[in-house]
Amino acid sequence: MTMSKSHKTEPAYGSPNRTVRLLFSYEGDKVELVGQQHITMLAPPSDALEGYDNQAGFWIEMRDAGGQTLYRRCMSNPIQPSVEVFSNEGSHSIHREDVSEPKGAFFVLVPEMEKPTKLALCASAKTPGKPLQAAKEFAVFDVKGRS
Give CA–CA dist 18/22, Å, rounded: 13
Among 50, 30, 51, CA closest to 101? 30
pLDDT value, residue 82: 82
Residues 47-99 have pLDDT tens digits of 999 988 889 999 999 999 999 999 999 999 998 888 888 887 767 678 888 88
For residues 81 and 147, which has the higher predicted lDDT (pLDDT)?
A: 81
Give CA–CA dist 128/130, Å, rounded: 6
75-110: burial string, b at 16+ Cβ within 10 Å, e else? eeebbeeeeeeeeeeeeeeeeeeeeeeeeeeeebbb
Supply the DSSP symbol for 90.
Answer: S
For residues 28 and 24, which has the higher predicted lDDT (pLDDT)?
A: 24
What's this model's pTM, rounded to 2 decimal places?
Answer: 0.78
- Whether residue 2 has pLDDT greater than 50: no
